[in-house]
Structure 1
Amino acid sequence: MTSATAPEIRLSSGALGAEIRGIDLNALTDEQFELIHDTLLRHQVIFLPGQGNLEPEAHIAFGRRFGEVELHPYLPRLEGHPEIVVIDSDEGAKVDIWHTDMTFHQSPPIASVLHLVELPPSGGDTMWTNQCLVYESLSAPLRDLVDGLTAIHTIRVGTEFSSRAEHPVVRVHPETGRRSLYVNRLFTSHIPQLTRNESDALLEYLFRFSESPQFTCRYRWSRGDVAMWDNRVTQHYAVNDYRERRRGQRITVLGDHPTGNEPRWEHHVPAPGDRYWPDRVNAVEGY
């Protein structure tokens, strides 16, 4: 791979995703970074094939071009490089549920950079969904409703870590200004402006709609590939269709505070004697 020729960009699907060939992250130039940044904003997830010799220092430096790199609170890290989380299927790291990373934080990460270093002979693809396109495809009355709501996002990891945050159901991207649906199956507990039954029904519809094939792309990995996704406008799903080891190294770029419309209604207060369930907290082991 050489930077002497102009990088080549190929779209991955009609909904989102772009593959960029001709860039070596070990020798990334400012011009190449600007191309990557622009392509990420346009297509939500990018793929950089053939990065098999990516040095951990270069991986970290690439993430830092986008912002501060996170030290994850509970996942295993690469020895000598605490900024890099190791995602190892042999250790249970198989998250085959549609989700957006760490929405249970007040300021969720803006992006992740995943380098696949070991793959099974077949299987182990990853899918992404374009949450801007999902929002734009809702009917006008439903967009009007969700624009005025918030959602509670939660997690519990054994006794080691727990977190809770309230975010707009529709957030506005701070760089592009596009609006996107911002709820996910793994971490969204409920919509506090609604009754529990109303919240369950609306969220289930939004989850299913978000997962529709017309909003997705699917990437078949090769060893050494790098993927980066904009965590503000996507969900992703790791396809669990393999038995052999799958191992990756991930950088997470710390986030901004999700913003959107102010909620138009107060939190629902149950009438005396009504049963109102507490937060639904996901106990996550291999996330």
Structure 2
Amino acid sequence: MTVTTAAPTVTLREARIPGDGMYEGPRTLRRLPEGWEERPYELFEVVPQARTIGAEIRGVDLSRPLGAALREELNRALLEWKVLFFRAQHLTSDQQRDFAGHWGELETNPLLAVGSREDVVRFDKGAGAAPTYENVWHTDVTFRERPALGAVLQLREVPPFGGDTMWADMAAAYDNLPQEVKERIDGARAVHDFIPGFARFYGPERLIPHQDLFPPMEHPVVRVHPETGRRMLFVNASFTTHITGMDRDESDRLLRFLFQQAHVPEYQVRFSWQPGDIAFWDNRATQHYAVGDYGTDRRVAERVAIAGDRPF
């Protein structure tokens, strides 16, 4: 008599990863707002550098006066691509200021080194230089009531290798959040403070005199772009300290998850500099990261920032 035994039941072992972390898989990469009318550019060539963010502009000399039609077309390109690159412009500081001034009032920052004018920030780093704002994803000056609209950065001197800058598309970051996270943060507000970011390289004696000038400021966690209507994630690891009205542990956990979104490669563009190159970015819609991988070699940049509006 043959006895037949049933095959043992095989079950898949349990496997899990910690919650509240990043995920792998497909992402929605939508460059333009819904309903946006995309039109050809007539005054220059646009060369995309990534799927949703970053384009090189060819055929424009930024040292020449900027007419109304060119300004309008460049602004449309900025809204559509979020950061624009211009090669080998070699602008003087005044020419750089003049270009940025077409987008509004220029901003000063008493916490950063000044170049030839009060509204020109100079980053000069090499052997023995003081640390500069590198190796952290951030949006500029969100600790202000009116964070910068954008910034125009020019590299005066570049290291033999390294020293790139990266930008992340925070509209794409918002689009791809889990629905339950969107429901938690839509309508939420968060506090921004200059001290956490600048305490990375300044002591209390440098920061205390500016506490009254820059009190903690509250902004929406998800802001609406004032020109495109696009919803964008608006918290960053340098300046956002907590979500208003939320338990501290819960706020910390949620903010850590939100900060991580800038690290997603699909949302990023990376730019390798040559002397005289210009980057003009929309600070309302992006975060950026200066890569400090060039050791004791020298890197010199000048930045002009444009005052923005109060986020809503």
Per the shorter chain, which TM-score range? Answer: 0.7 to 0.9
2:108 is aligned, of 39, 55, 71, to 71
How far, CA to CA, are the matches of 1:29 and 1:63 in structure 2? 10
Q: Which residue of 1 aligns with 2:310?
A: 257
C-alpha contact 2:146 2:311 (8 A) present in aligned 1: yes
Correspondences of 1:150-229 after superposition (within 5 Å): 150-156=189-195, 158-162=207-211, 163=214, 164-229=216-281
Q: Which residue of 2 aligns with 1:45?
A: 83
How far, CA to CA, are the matches of 1:21 and 1:93 in structure 2? 30
After TM superposition, the score normalised by the length of structure 2 is 0.78
C-alpha contact 2:100 2:305 (8 A) present in aligned 1: yes
C-alpha contact 2:44 2:59 (8 A) present in aligned 1: yes
Tell me the CA shift for residue 70 of structure 1.
1.0
Tell me the CA shift for residue 32 of structure 1.
2.5
Correspondences of 1:5-84 after superposition (within 5 Å): 6-30=43-67, 31-52=69-90, 54-79=91-116, 81-84=117-120
C-alpha contact 1:126 1:238 (8 A) present in aligned 2: yes
Tell me the CA shift for residue 73 of structure 1.
1.9
After TM superposition, the score normalised by the length of structure 1 is 0.85
Indicate the SS of the match to 1:251. strand
* Structure 2: stretches of 5+ with no match in the other structure: 1-41, 196-205
Q: Which has the higher strand share?
A: 1
Correspondences of 1:80-159 after superposition (within 5 Å): 81-89=117-125, 90-156=129-195, 158-159=207-208
Tell me the CA shift for residue 138 of structure 1.
1.2
Most deviating of 86-95 and 245-254: 86-95
C-alpha contact 1:94 1:240 (8 A) present in aligned 2: no
Indicate the SS of the match to 1:160. helix
**CA offsets 1:112-151 (integer angstroms, 9 cap, x no match):** 1001101101000001100001101112222121112111
Most deviating of 182-191 and 65-74: 65-74
How far, CA to CA, are the matches of 1:27 and 1:182 in structure 2? 35
**CA offsets 1:45-72 (integer angstroms, 9 cap, x no match):** 11111112x1222111111100000122
Indicate the SS of the match to 1:50. coil
Q: Which residue of 1 aligns with 2:32?
A: none
Indicate the SS of the match to 1:51. coil
How far, CA to CA, are the matches of 1:98 and 1:71 in structure 2? 21
* Structure 1: stretches of 5+ with no match in the other structure: 260-287
Tell me the CA shift for residue 6 of structure 1.
4.7
Tell me the CA shift for residue 20 of structure 1.
0.3
Most deviating of 159-168 and 38-47: 159-168
How far, CA to CA, are the matches of 2:311 and 2:118 in structure 1? 26
Distance change in 2, residues 1:14/1:201 (3 Å)? same
Larger Rg: 2
C-alpha contact 1:23 1:32 (8 A) present in aligned 2: no
**CA offsets 1:11-49 (integer angstroms, 9 cap, x no match):** 110130111011111104323222211110001111111
**CA offsets 1:247-279 (integer angstroms, 9 cap, x no match):** 1111010110000xxxxxxxxxxxxxxxxxxxx
Question: Between the two proteins, what is the percent identity of the paired residues?
Answer: 40
How far, CA to CA, are the matches of 1:110 and 1:29 in structure 2? 19
Tell me the CA shift for residue 211 of structure 1.
1.5
C-alpha contact 1:101 1:109 (8 A) present in aligned 2: yes
Indicate the SS of the match to 2:161. coil
Aligned length: 253
Cα RMSD between the aligned structures? Answer: 1.4
